[in-house]
Amino acid sequence: MTQHTKHTDLTLDISSKTDLLVEVRTFVTDAARAFGFADDDVSNIELAVDEACTNIIKHAYQYNPAGRIRLAISSTAEQDQPRRFIITIHDDGRSFDASHYTLPDMTQYFQRPRRGGLGVVLMKKLMDEVEYSIAPGAPNAIRLVKYLLPLHPRSA
Amino acid sequence: MNDFKVGIRHMDTVTVFDLKGYLDAHTAPDLEQAFLSAIDGRKYNLVVNFRDLAYISSAGLGVLMQFIEDVRKNEGDIKLSNMSPRVFNVFDLLGFPMLYEIYAEERDALEKFRNNVTHPPYQKPDTGE
């Protein structure tokens, strides 16, 4: 029997403006540290969430500051599983269709230098799970998950 | 608070950018302006010193990507130095050490320019276009 708990603890609702990325980073680093992550993981989560919000500001809202970005942090704890730290980010802008996106091969990327396109690569490398969901009439959602591994795993 | 500053120093034939603070999508245009001012002045030997940079997102790396081709076409280079482990990690995750010379100390980057050890000029791959 698996014990399963889920908490939605914290939310942040901001305008689609790059000067508010600092608020996003403070919000997520405080929560990640309180959850128990070590400094390296806190930094990785901070950067992944910054990249997600930057992409929303840039691509979903195309720098229109009237757009809203809503972040929610939740966690799950299942028996014998790592605890999951989950950041869900919603927006109402243009959808990013991840099914038509392939991660760039970095060797090829460097043969044709260009600006941008690196955020999604970073998110995938920094987090354990990255999932986009888009549906007609519903806000876009991206869900970023990081596992908190126990320091001293119990042997079976 | 979202502080970011770029200082510019001229060391012989090399222009050094001293980055300080937080480099993200909001502050990356400041770095872009600094690069543009150097390139407008036909300065192509560039070193970016990251010693006082606390944070970088891909927007900052994007600025380096934006200028590297032009700089190398003009027989210059963008060399990087003095990164904290945290900042280096971001470059490393994206494979940037393949494309950029990264030095522990600025003086090593300056020395490379002084010895005229330049990166081979950037060449576009033959795509048949």
CATH among 3.90.1010.10, 3.40.50.720, 3.30.565.10, 3.40.50.920 for A4-148: 3.30.565.10
- Residue B95 is predicted with a pLDDT of 93
- Residue A30 is predicted with a pLDDT of 97
Q: Amino acid identity of B116?
A: N
Q: CB neighbours of A123 closer than 8 A, spacing ≥ 6?
A: A48, A51, A52, A130, A144
ipTM: 0.87
CA distance B59 to chain A (A): 7
Report domain extents, chain B: 10-100
Residues A66-84 pLDDT 10s: 999 999 999 998 888 889 9
- Residue B120 is predicted with a pLDDT of 53
Q: Which residues of A touch B93 (CB under 8 A)?
A: 121-122, 125-126
Interchain CB contact of A24 with B (< 8 Å)? no
Determine whether the interchain pair A54/B65 forms a contact, defined as Cβ–Cβ distance below 8 Å: no
CA distance A79 to chain B (A): 32
CA distance B11 to chain A (A): 27
Q: Which residues of B32-49 are buried (b: 16+ CB within 10 A; e: fewer)?
A: bebbeebbeeebbbbbbb
- Residue A3 is predicted with a pLDDT of 47
User: Are B36 and B93 a contacting pair, CB within 8 Å?
Assistant: no
What one-character-per-residue DSSP string does B19-86 give?
A: EEEEESTTTHHHHHHHHHHHHHTT--EEEEEEEEEEEE-HHHHHHHHHHHHHHHHTT-EEEEE---HH
Q: Which residues of B touch A58 (CB under 8 A)?
A: 25
Is it the case that residue A97 has pLDDT exceeding 70?
yes
pLDDT beneath 50, residues of chain B: 121-122, 128-129
- Residue A134 is predicted with a pLDDT of 86
User: Are B4 and B37 a contacting pair, CB within 8 Å?
Assistant: no
Report domain extents, chain A: 4-148
CATH fold group of domain B10-100:
Transcription Regulator spoIIAA (3.30.750)
- Quote the mean pLDDT of chain A: 88
Q: Which residues of A touch B25 (CB under 8 A)?
A: 18, 21, 50, 54, 57-58
Determine whether the interchain pair A114/B22 forms a contact, defined as Cβ–Cβ distance below 8 Å: no
Residues A17-33 pLDDT 10s: 999 999 999 999 999 99
- Residue B125 is predicted with a pLDDT of 53
CB pairs under 8 A between A and B: 74
- Residue A105 is predicted with a pLDDT of 78
